[in-house]
């Protein structure tokens, strides 16, 4: 009788793809869903680099969670960061932006917290080489890219100018490849003839990758095509290299022979490696679950934590069958977890089938009209790959406004090479104590 009075409580940690699809799967279920996220928006992470490079605005890749879920009347959104899990009492502790703690009791817990940037134990690199996992990261990178070109215009001496005109990216996965292609396109086409003292087309873009190929997960044929495309754009590939140091003026790398080399660059971007956020470690402590090297939680085939059938881990934060950290994996696992809870609420006694990922393929955008796509036996590159990439990403964008805006923005960018979202801000370094005194106000007459 009590079950009809108090709905089953489902807490979802994370408002990304996995969390969103889990909430959608529970839309018509007699449950009370609470979605907890440290940010109030759902972010389309695969297009962060297009926001960073000035093709898309923030609003075209990020939608308010409350707006996305406004028709889900059984869903409540909480702005906070999950910090701990009491698996015995079934309570999640979340920290509000003001530092206060919220206790969220649950009957079912779906963990969809994603991953964060990893510097492989060299966290000091973050001060000089930002990663790109959040909207703030993308806006910071946009600021750094366009600021570097502005600084080169007024640089004192050729050495400083070369430093500002050199961009180094660490990591040859999709994010690194996409950003490298975008920076070359910005320098060579978007900003053509906009500067008087520098030739932006002469900007150097260096891409460092520890393995012998960029986009290694796409297979050797597509990796080779991507490398040829990048070199054709003017990107300098440094394969088989490991970064050993980064500072404000460049980075030091070591190749497979042990030889080191120094590269001067005022803009270094980190596009290599991810790790689970602290809540994953807290969950592992609370449940005794195992974690892999990146901190992901090892789960059962039905995505539950061993010994805790009410806790499911989805998306990038789960470790299962070596599944990659792709948006499609997050969507499918989130939907599966939501359906599993719904079936349990409906009283279905049949054991759910193990989660099975249906590979929808992988894609990487390199430059205008050039991309690589891998979908099963289908391998596409060049303009055909770009068309396939465009269709895939527009279809996945959340909300009609986002799809329409993205299509229009890309159409303009593709046809003209322009980028309308180039605005960036800089901190005000003119402290009040150093400002020149203004004119004195006239003394009022008695």
Angle between the 174-185 and 220-233 helix axes, to the nearest 10 degrees?
A: 20
Give start and end residues of each alpha helix (H) in 173-219: 174-185
Other C-beta atoms lying within 10 Å of the C-beta of residue 436: 5
The answer to whether the CB of 190 falls within 8 A of the CB of 292 is no
- The full DSSP string for 38-50 is SSSEEE-GGGHHH
Q: Which of 81, 178, 209, 328 is catalytic?
A: 178
- Distance between CA atoms of residues 403 and 382, nearest Å: 23
Q: What is the CA radius of gyration of the chain?
A: 24
Other C-beta atoms lying within 10 Å of the C-beta of residue 148: 20
Other C-beta atoms lying within 10 Å of the C-beta of residue 307: 11
User: Which residues neighbour 342 within 8 Å (Cβ) at sequence distance 6 or greater?
Assistant: 25, 26, 29, 31
The answer to whether the CB of 316 falls within 8 A of the CB of 116 is no
User: Which residues neighbour 228 within 8 Å (Cβ) at sequence distance 6 or greater?
Assistant: none
User: Which residues neighbour 116 within 8 Å (Cβ) at sequence distance 6 or greater?
Assistant: 133, 274, 275, 276, 277
Tell me whether residue 178 is one of the annotated catalytic residues. yes
- Distance between CA atoms of residues 190 and 195, nearest Å: 11
- Distance between CA atoms of residues 135 and 145, nearest Å: 15
Burial 95-112 (b: 16+ CB within 10 A, else e): eeeeeeebebebbbbbbb
- The full DSSP string for 133-164 is SSHHHHHHHHHHHHHHHHHHHT-SSHHHHHHH
For 200-316, strand residue ranges (E) read 204-209, 235-239, 241-247, 250-255, 260-264, 267-270, 274-275, 297-298, 304-305, 308-313
What torsion do the CA atoms of 82, 18, 313, 273 make, to the nearest 10 degrees? -80
Order of all β-strands in the sheet with 260-264 = 241-247, 250-255, 260-264
Q: Indicate the DSSP class of residue 97.
A: T
106 closest CA partner among 283, 292, 257: 283
Catalytic sites, residue numbers: 178
């Amino acid at each position: 009788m009590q079950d009809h009075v108090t709905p089953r409580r489902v807490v979802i940690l994370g408002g990304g793809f996995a969390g969103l699809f889990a909430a959608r799967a529970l839309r018509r279920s007699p449950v009370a869903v609470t979605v907890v996220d440290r940010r109030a928006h759902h972010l389309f992470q695969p297009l962060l680099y297009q926001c960073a490079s000035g093709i898309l605005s923030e609003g075209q890749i990020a939608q308010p969670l409350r707006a996305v879920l406004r028709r889900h009347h059984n869903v409540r959104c909480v702005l906070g960061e999950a910090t701990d899990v009491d698996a015995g009492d079934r309570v999640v502790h979340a920290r509000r932006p003001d530092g206060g703690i919220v206790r969220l009791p649950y009957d079912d817990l779906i963990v969809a917290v994603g991953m964060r940037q990893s510097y492989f134990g060299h966290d000091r690199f973050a001060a000089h080489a930002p990663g790109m996992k959040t909207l703030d990261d993308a806006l910071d990178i946009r600021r750094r890219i366009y600021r570097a070109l502005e600084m080169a215009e007024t640089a004192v001496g050729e050495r400083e100018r070369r430093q500002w005109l050199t961009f180094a990216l660490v990591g040859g996965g999709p994010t690194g490849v996409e950003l490298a292609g975008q920076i070359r396109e910005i320098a060579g086409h978007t900003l053509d003839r906009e500067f008087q003292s520098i030739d932006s087309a002469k900007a150097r873009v260096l891409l460092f990758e520890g393995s012998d190929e960029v986009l290694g997960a796409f297979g050797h044929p597509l990796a080779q095509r991507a490398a040829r495309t990048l070199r054709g754009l003017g990107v300098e590939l440094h394969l088989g290299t490991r970064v050993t140091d980064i500072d404000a003026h460049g980075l030091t790398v070591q190749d497979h022979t042990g030889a080191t080399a120094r590269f001067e660059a005022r803009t270094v971007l980190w596009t290599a490696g991810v790790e689970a956020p602290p809540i994953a470690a807290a969950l592992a402590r609370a449940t005794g679950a195992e974690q892999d090297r990146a901190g992901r939680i090892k789960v059962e085939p039905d995505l539950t934590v061993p010994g805790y059938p009410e806790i499911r881990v989805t998306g990038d934060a789960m470790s299962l069958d070596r599944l990659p950290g792709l948006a499609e994996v997050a969507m499918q696992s989130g939907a599966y977890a939501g359906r599993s809870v719904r079936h349990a609420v409906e009283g279905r006694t049949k054991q759910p089938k193990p989660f099975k990922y249906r590979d929808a393929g992988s894609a990487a955008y390199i430059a205008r009209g050039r991309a690589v796509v891998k979908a099963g036996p289908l391998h596409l590159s060049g303009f055909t790959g770009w068309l396939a990439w465009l269709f895939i990403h527009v279809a996945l964008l959340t909300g009609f406004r986002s799809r329409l805006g993205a299509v229009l923005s890309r159409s303009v960018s593709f046809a003209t090479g322009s980028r309308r979202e180039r605005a960036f801000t800089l901190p005000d370094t003119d402290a009040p104590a150093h400002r020149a005194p203004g004119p004195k106000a006239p003394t009022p007459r008695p």
